[in-house]
Structure formats: structure tokens, C-alpha cells
Amino acid sequence: MSTTLAPRLKWDLRLFASAAALTLIGAMAMASAGTTVHPTLAVRHAIWIGIGVAACVGIARTDAHRWMDLAAVAYGVSLALLGLVSVAGAMRLGATRWLSVSGLSLQPSEAAKLATTLLLARYLAGQPNPLPMRAVWISLALAGAPALLVFRQPDLGSATVFGAIWLGMAWVGGLSRRAVAGVAGGLLALVPLGWVLLRDYQRDRLLAFVNPHADPLGAGFSVIQSTIAIGAGQWWGRGWWAGTQTHLRFLPERHSDFIFSVIGEEWGFLGGVAVIGLLGVLLLRILRLALRVSTPEWRGVAVGIFCWVAYQAVINLGMVTGLLPVVGVPLPLVSYGGSSMVTLWIALGMLQSVHRTSLE
Amino acid sequence: MENRVRWLRLLVGIALTVVLLRVAQLQLIRGSAYRLLAERNRLRLVPEQAPRGPILDRHGRVLATTQTVFRVALIPQELEDLPSVLAHVGSVVHAPVDGLQRELERQPAPAFLPVTLVNRVPKEVAFRLEEERWRWPGLLVQADAIRHYPRGSCAAHLLGYVGQPTAEELQWLKAYGIPPRSLVGRVGLEQWLDAVLRGRDGGWMVEVNHRSRRVRVIGQRRPEAGARVVLTIDAQLQSTIEQAFGTQPGAAAVLDPRTGEVLALVSAPAFSPESFATLDTQAIRRILSDPGSPLMNRATAAAYQPGSIVKLVTAAAGLEHRLMAPATAISCAGSTTIGDRAFHCWKRDGHGPLTMPEALAHSCNVYFMQVGRSLGASRLRAALAQAGFARSTGWPLPERAGHLPERRLTEGEVALLAIGQGEIEVTVMAEAAMGGAIANGGRLMEPWVVRTVAGRPAGRPVSRGQLGWSRETIAAVRAGMVEAVRHPSGTAHRALSPDLGIAGKTGTAQTHVPGRNHGWFVGFCPVEQPRVAMAIVAEFGGSGGELPAQIGRLICESVGS
């Protein structure tokens, strides 16, 4: 049996094992931290995982060519949804990021990340190497449109994810070194303008990064409490359900952006190494896939998903350990967030589909 | 292309390694410090003050006690609607809202600590605020224990007061585990008995959440109340004497001559010890800047020139050294010449021939100057020292020893010393002890004031020395003191009370201010088997035969009835 099925359902075991392990660790942390946020939060998290994994398995069985054709449609739909959010979105945390559909909240920016990746992969695959300037501008515009809508929500962290996806894909797609330098210079020039456009709380967070102890009960509170939580975990952690920073609610956003601090506090260095190590394995497997697939289009998809997961992971870990400013990016597969969880598992399903289609 | 993918791999590899090192630094290198910070985050030590022990008089009347007062405070991080909370508090305590606002802005707001809004509110107001507190998040009614002195300034100098510890005291108080908020005894008995009155503070170790709300109690140590202290003081007598002084500065010490128990210890003017306990800064400033120095305990910490009360010792020394017999008459012609200088009696036309009791009764200067001359400096000085002059009485609280001249004296100076003028100073407490010794047959009893601590006896009669006078001498001196009160022209006649046998001797000491003398009265009552001995001084109060003798009579009547 296994020999006959093997070519059709050949899963990249290490990739899915690491993704599953990360998701499991996240679910365990959610079981502990989630109850301090909402009684049913952990259950909802588990349901989203179920939906995500089911979608992943379903998509993994499809032909990769089929939904590459849908890239433009998916991109258009997600742009429209982002536009809708800015018009009719529900107000939450002072930021409008969710779309409520009959009681379910959807965050279209997550879907937009995947759609943008697909469309960029499609577009860049048809371009010569090195990329001509026209293609650079067009691809930048494709990534920039959803990024701008997300930035206006305002969600600075998610907006920068589009930039990271674009930069990685364009780089692999043949972006000249001169163009890289140009983009880097242009971004630097935008910093003062960006500062003006930022909301007050965003500025406070960036300033708090420079010196968190200037306002220990205000903007610096999150980072201080997060580093205390992680550090207090020491080698083996304080035990599942026994993190005082988590359960006495000193740790803010402990179910979403600061979930790694919960793991660090309750599972110690052991948990930290596990999360970082599993992320490393997952990312390596995605890159390995990028090198093995047969078309530049599919390589682009793998690189885009790599950049998306890698960027969010590094920014999130850097932020909760006090190395980077607090910009509000969830830890992929671990943080709470239905849209993010489902979209990431769909992306993993696509990778498997690409993997399988390439082999056929 | 493959190269560029490897670049991405390298970049992310480096980034994840940096994060891993950072996590290792936080957890493995600084882990124990962060563990401590996490513990501090969650654990709070909430001190619970032990109620300070009460101080009672010999009949159980309360002199000092601990009272609960109520304070309205705000917890800033729990406030939801400051203006409406202020409006609510303002309407209940009848205070303008902008005044409360200013009070709030005046204070620093330490994190997670309540900020005081109104310092003292009546119990009914506190209960009213507490009942509806759930409607006003962030509002807090706190109960504080403060020191209360129900008899006002009664025995203020003896009791002393409590106050906030200074930064310096905090250092060593911390070593004894005393939390910085508690008040410490500053002077008087509050200070001397601080350790027993304080009791032992308790506390709660509680786990709190991020909003400082209590989650659970981890440990508790119950506070041990301070000991109940019973004094030998009679509060009624104390108040009577204090009222008798009125606005006149001065002091009085009243003892039981048989035991040395202090029945009253008065210093006028007095102050309200409660001003210090309630940190009433305005009242404290008034007390400190008062030119009358109300904080000084004039009964023990001030020494005055004694004047004629020294004649009691001069008379006894003359008898002991057999310079005369009690009945030997010495004539007073109004003055006596020593060297080339004439020393006058206060009665310029002279007393004529006087026996020793008569000389005491009329306080004749010439008589005692003559005796003093015959005694000479060293014998006179020894007799004074023996009677407790310039010596500590054994009083347990801070005390001045008084003063006797130690240099060589001229013949004239010896004669003046014999009538209590010149370089001689004595405390009221020492004179009361001497009066007690004359009353009890010659024993100088140590004055003591703490009868029981927590129900256990804390004091007992201790004899500190003997006057060294024979029974006949004491009888003659007592006869003189009885005569001074009884005889219509005796100097202490104002101390006469029809039904009581009172013995006394007045003194009028010249001061550096001409015409303004210190008046003294030393006496005891009843004459047979005395139960009370006393010394009274009126600072710049004129003749000892006036107010001091009257107060002496009041004391005897108060004790005798």
C-alpha cells in the first residue's frame, strides 16, 4: 500500500512535523495563558487549528497549477476586503483590523499576505533576470497597495510584512544590487515622513524601545514585564500553568504578541530553544523546497512564504526579548489569531501541493 | 539564484541565533535576577500595625490610648471617573471639589499606593462612603490607628508624645523590623517605654495581580498589642494642679513620702501631645516657637535657685553639729555684718529673739546666716549634698542634677548659701524628694512613676540615701514647718487648711530680673504619718508664700479628701 501511495502523498515530514510541533506548543501555552484572557479562548484557538489543518490537508491534495491561476482573483478580493475594513470594520484596540461576518471576526490582512505572495510569484516568474526597473516598480506597487491599506488601519507591523515579502521575492527573482541599495536608501528617506504619519501610541512604543524604563508603567511596561517573564523562567521554567507573570496578568497581550514570553516563563530555556529550533527547521525546509521545485513561479511562492514566516518570527522574538521595538506582529503558528492560523496552514498546504506537483 | 536563496538562509540563521543568545542571556545569565523581579511583582508585604499600649493613671483613668481614625484615599490606577469621585467625596465630607483637586495634585503619586484625599473624617462619614464605595472605583476608606490623649495636655511632659521617625532613626529601626510608617515615642514615657508600648507589628504576605488587587494570602503574622502601662500618677490631682497654675509658668512634683511614688508631675505651660501624633504641622510649629518653651519639663529638666527652703537644711545641720539647740534663741536686729558688709533680713526692723522653729516659721535671714557662718562652707555644703542638692534623685527620665558651688567661698557667700542665695540651683523633683524625706523620718526615696506594665509590677520603693538627721532634729524642723503654716504671720500661712495638718516651708529666690523672684513651697501632709510630700515652684512668680503655698494647700486638700 505505502509504495503505491508514496508518490502521490509524499509529505515533507520534517516541515510538517516542525509546523505541527510549533502549533502544539502554541496550543499548550494558550491552554495556560488563554484562560486569563477569556474562558473559551483556548478552545477557540483549538478550533482554528482544526480548521487550518483541515484546509491544509485539502489544499495539499489539489494541483498547484489550479490555484496559481486564481492568484489575481484572490489578490483582488483581499484588496477589496481591506478596503471594506477601512470603511465598515469594527473598532478594536483603537485599530480597525477585523471584519465581522455574522459573529466571526476575520482579519483580511492575513489573507492578503498569501494572495500578494501568489500574485508576486506569478508576476516575477515572467520577468527576466536581472529584473528591469519597470518590473521592480510594478512588483513594488503590487505589494505596496495592500501594505498601505494595512498601514492605514493602522497596523504598522503587518504592513512591514508585505515589504519583507516583496524584498525577499524580488531579491531571489533577480533584483539588482543597485536597486536594493536604492530601495534601502528610499526607505531611509521615508523614516522622517513615516514618523509624522505614525500614531501617538506607535511613537511611544518606538521611544519606549530606546529606553523602556523612562515610562515603566506606560509604554515601556510590556517590554519590561515580558523580559521579566522570560528571564524568570530560567532553565526549566516555572511549570505549565505556574507562570506568575502570566497568571497574575502582569504580561500584556499574553495570548497574542507575547505568547513566547508565556512559553519562556513556564517552560524556561527548554521551551525557548524548542520554539526557536522548530522555527529554524521549518524555515530551512521551506527554503530547501524553494531550491527543489521545478518552476520559478513555485519557487517564488516558497520564498514568499519563507520571508513572511521568517520576518514575523524574527520581529516577534526580537520584540518580546527587548531587542526590537514593540510593533505588534504575532508569532507564526503560535500566537492566538484565527485568520493568521488558518492562512498559515493554507500556505503550508500550498507548499505541500507545490512539492507534490513538482515531483509528478 | 541559488546563491541568493542561501543569502536569505544565512540572514535568517543569524537573526535566530541572535534571538537564541538573547534568550539564553535573559534566562540563564540574568535568570535569577528576573526571577526575583517576578516575585517582587507578585508579592506584597502589607504591614499591620500593633495597637500601641494604653497609659493609665493609678485609678485606671486613661491618659493615652490608641484611636481609630478614618482617611479617604484614592487608588490612581483603579480610578475610572475622577471628577465624579471628587464630586461625590466633596458632597459627603462637605468640601469644595477644587480644594480636593488641589490636595490631590499637591501629593506625589507613587505607583500602586493609595493617595490621601481627606486626612480625618468622622466615623459616620467614613461608614457612609464605605457603604457606597462599590459605585466609585478607585475610592478607598482607610482606618488608621493614631495616638489619642483623652485628657488633652494633662501630664503632657511626663507622657511625652509620638512622632514620625527621622531618617537617622529609620536606619536602626529597620534593623528591628519596624516599618517606616509607624510612629515612635519621642520624649517622656512614650519614648522611655517605647519598646513595651509598641508591641509587635504584624503583617500579611499577599499575592497581588497586575492591578495590585489581592489574589490570595500567603502568610500572616498577627500583631501583638502593646503593653498596658499603669502609672502612679493621680490624674485628678494632676489636673487640679495644672489648673491652679493657670497662665503662671512653673512646676510641681507630688510624691508619696512612704514609697517615692510620683502622684503628680506638673510643668506649666503645657502642650497638646496629640498635635504631634496627628502631625498637625501648624500646631507643632506654634508649640516649637512659643517663647514660654512649653516643651521643657520644668519639674525635672530645669533647675532654679531655691531661696529660703535651704534654711531647712541649714537648721538641721546646725542642730546636728550642736551649734544650737532647738530652743536656743538668736536675736535678729534686721541685719548682720560680715566682714565690712551688712546683710539685711527681709524684715528690715528685725525679728527680735527667735528659737529655731520660730526662725523657720518666719524665715528669718539673720538667724540662718549666723548658723551658716558658724557651720562654715564645707559642713554646709556636705549637709546640702546629703539632702539631695546637686544630686540626681534616681528619676528614670532625663533629669538635671542641680548645682552647688565647688570653689572656695567667702564668709559672705557662705552666709548667703545658708539662706539659698548665690551659686545654688535645684530641681523641683529633688526638693519634693527632700520634703518626702523630712516627712518619712529621713529616707530619700527614689521617685518612680510606672506602677505596672502588662499587669506586672514595674516599680518598687527604693531608698537612695538618708538625710542623716537625728529624730530630734527632724522633729524640730517639722515643728518649724508646722509653725510656718499655722502661725498667722508664718510665711506659709496661705497653705493653712482648717481640718488638715500641713507642714511647709516657702522660699523666694532673687533672680537676675530685679523684683521678679521665683516662689517656692516645700511641704507635706498630714503632719502625723504623712501621705503626700511636694515641691512647687512659680517661675518669676513672686513670693513663695503666695501662689506656691496656695497650690500646696490645694494638693493637700485634694489628697486628704
pLDDT digits (tens, 9 = 90+) for A258-295: 999 999 899 989 999 999 999 999 999 999 888 888 78
Angstrom distances, CA of residue B435 to CA of B191, B422, B461: 29, 22, 16
Could you give the ipTM of this predicted complex? 0.88
Average pLDDT in the A307-319 region? 94
Cα angle: B39, vertex B42, B43; to 5 degrees = 80
Domain edges within chain A: 10-359
Which pLDDT score, from 0 to 100, does residue B315 have? 95
Dig out the grid coordinates for B328 from the structure: 536656743
CATH 3.90.1310.10 fits B40-61+151-231, yes or no: yes
Question: Does B69-145 match B40-61+151-231 at the fold level?
Answer: no
Round to whole Å and give the CA distance between A331 and A317: 8
Dig out the grid coordinates for A245 from the structure: 507573570
CATH 3.20.180.10 fits B235-268+300-560, yes or no: no
**pTM of the predicted structure, to 2 decimals:** 0.65
Pairwise pLDDT comparison (A14 vs A155), residue with the higher score: A14
A278, closest residue in chain B (CA to CA): B16
Specify the DSSP element, H or E, that contains B430.
helix B428-440
Average pLDDT taken over every residue of chain A: 83
Nearest-CA distance B113 → chain A (Å): 14
Q: Name chain A contacts of B42, Cβ cutoff 8 Å.
A: 244, 248, 250
User: B69-145, what's its fold?
Assistant: Alpha-Beta Plaits (3.30.70)
- Give me the phi and psi of A123, to 5 degrees please: -65, -50
Nearest-CA distance B110 → chain A (Å): 11
Q: Looking at the partner chain, which of B7, B22, B210 has a beta carbon nearest the beta carbon of A250?
A: B210
B21, closest residue in chain A (CA to CA): A273
A274, closest residue in chain B (CA to CA): B20
Domain edges within chain B: 40-61+151-231, 69-145, 235-268+300-560
Round to whole Å and give the CA distance between B331 and A350: 136
Q: Chain B residues within 8 A (CB-CB) of chain A?
A: 1-2, 4-5, 7-9, 12-13, 15-16, 18-20, 22-24, 26-28, 30-35, 37-39, 41-42, 111, 207-211, 215
B23 to A269: CB separation less than 8 angstroms, yes or no = yes
| Chain B interface mutation, best of A248, A273, A301, highest count of B Cβ atoms under 10 Å | A248
- Give me the phi and psi of B9, to 5 degrees please: -60, -45
Which of A74-78, A343-347, B491-495, B541-545 comes out lowest in average pLDDT? B541-545
Q: Name chain B contacts of A172, Cβ cutoff 8 Å.
A: 1, 4-5, 8
Q: Residues 6 or more apart from B305 whose CB is under 8 A from it?
A: B420, B421, B424, B425, B426, B509, B510, B511, B518
pLDDT in tens, A189-198: 777 777 777 7
Q: How many pairs of residues across A and B have Cβ atoms under 8 Å apart?
A: 129
Q: Is A184 on the interface with B (CB under 8 A)?
A: no
Coil, helix or strand for B246? coil
Which pLDDT score, from 0 to 100, does residue A7 have? 47
What is the pLDDT confidence band of residue A296, given thresholds at 50, 70 and 90? confident
- List chain B pLDDT tens, one digit each, 561 residues: 678 888 889 989 999 999 999 999 888 988 888 888 877 777 776 667 788 899 999 999 999 998 878 888 887 777 778 888 888 888 888 888 888 888 777 776 655 567 778 878 888 888 888 777 778 777 888 777 788 999 999 999 999 998 877 766 666 655 555 555 567 888 899 999 998 998 887 777 777 777 666 677 777 778 888 899 999 999 999 999 999 998 899 999 999 999 999 999 999 999 998 888 777 778 888 888 888 889 999 999 999 999 999 999 999 999 999 999 999 999 998 888 888 888 888 888 888 999 999 999 999 999 999 999 999 999 999 999 999 998 899 999 999 989 999 899 899 999 999 999 989 999 999 999 999 999 999 999 999 999 999 999 998 999 999 999 999 999 999 999 999 999 998 999 998 988 889 999 999 998 888 888 999 999 999 999 999 999 999 999 888 888 999 999 999 999 876
Coil, helix or strand for B505? strand
Q: Which residue is associated with the grid cell 515643728?
A: B479
A279 to B16: CB separation less than 8 angstroms, yes or no = yes
Q: Name chain B contacts of A217, Cβ cutoff 8 Å.
A: 111
Alpha helices by DSSP H, chain A: 2-5, 13-33, 41-60, 64-68, 71-88, 108-125, 133-151, 156-172, 177-197, 200-210, 221-233, 244-247, 259-292, 296-320, 338-359
Amino acid letter for position A15: L
What is the pLDDT confidence band of residue A89, given thresholds at 50, 70 and 90? low
Q: Name chain A contacts of B211, Cβ cutoff 8 Å.
A: 249
A227 to B26: CB separation less than 8 angstroms, yes or no = yes
In sequence order, the β-bridge partners of residue B155 are: none
Q: Looking at the partner chain, which of B1, B9, B24 has a beta carbon nearest the beta carbon of A287?
A: B9
What is the pLDDT confidence band of residue A1, given thresholds at 50, 70 and 90? very low
Residue B546: name the closest of B508, B512, B513, B516 by CA: B508
Q: Which residue is associated with the grid cell 500602586?
A: B112
Q: Looking at the partner chain, which of B27, B34, B41 has a beta carbon nearest the beta carbon of A235?
A: B27
Q: Which of residues 296-355 of A touch B (CB under 8 A)?
A: 299, 303, 306-307, 310, 313-314, 317-318, 321-323
A235 to B33: CB separation less than 8 angstroms, yes or no = no
Q: Name chain B contacts of A230, Cβ cutoff 8 Å.
A: 23, 26-27, 34
Average pLDDT in the A158-177 region? 89
